[in-house]
A and B are shown apart, each in its own frame.
Chain A
């Protein structure tokens, strides 16, 4: 089955700097890769996703890149703000399969 790894587990950045979180997956059949932001005690919120037929996707300060050959994808947050502080989860999913989540990254944006 699918296995998703995520690094780093914790990340601290200064406000205004960029943050990068990386994930790798094991199943080459996976074709959908969402990123979720979860604040303490709340539901995961989809912030961006990418499908396997696309190499990069951007939405304002957030971008995701996908390297299918290497089986890894990354989340990039630019101009970080204190409200970006949360736990971020990547996930991978193949057609007809269920989501497999990474272990999460706790991002702290220091003012």
Chain B
């Protein structure tokens, strides 16, 4: 149980284009999902908290107009990188909480999406 998937697993795009990444909770409902970015040999940095049915909460320094987040259902959150540039190339990982498990603390991570912008 508590499986989180991401699609695509990797994507290569041209500079200036937009890329959408999906994060799904497969066997549980997630009212809250998180989006992280991880540069090579670095730690996970929280970009934003995605709440079902409401606007996402962005961390300081993360441009909300560039990284669009939509959490339209209890099992799906999407991150759209708009007008991508080479410096946006990174490993994007989502995570979700399963509140019904009664463990408010644990987060379940998706497998990540490697974005390369040429």
Contacts and interface: CB of A to CB of B under 8 A. Distances in A.
A and B are interacting partners: yes
Interface string A50-61: 010000000000
Contact of A43 (B46, B105, B106, B110): B110
Interface string A6-46: 00000000000000000000000000101000000111111
Interface residues of A, number: 19
Interface residues of B, number: 17
Contacts, number: 39
B105 A32 contact: yes
A51 B106 CA distance: 11
B112 A104 contact: no
Contacts of B46: 98-100
A39 B105 CA distance: 23
Contact of B114 (A41, A49, A100): A41
B49 A98 contact: yes
Nearest to A1: B60
A41 to B, nearest CB: 7
B42 interface: yes
B44 interface: yes
B112 A43 contact: yes
A34 B106 contact: yes
Most buried by B among A43, A102, A103: A43
Most buried by A among B45, B91, B109: B109
A40 to B, nearest CB: 10
Nearest to B44: A101
A96 B98 CA distance: 15
30 contacts: A32-B105, A34-B105, A34-B106, A41-B91, A41-B112, A41-B114, A42-B111, A42-B112, A43-B93, A43-B109, A43-B110, A43-B112, A44-B93, A45-B109, A46-B106, A49-B105, A49-B106, A51-B105, A89-B43, A93-B105, A98-B34, A98-B46, A98-B49, A99-B34, A100-B46, A101-B43, A101-B44, A102-B43, A103-B43, A104-B43
Interface of A: 32, 34, 41-46, 49, 51, 89, 93, 98-104
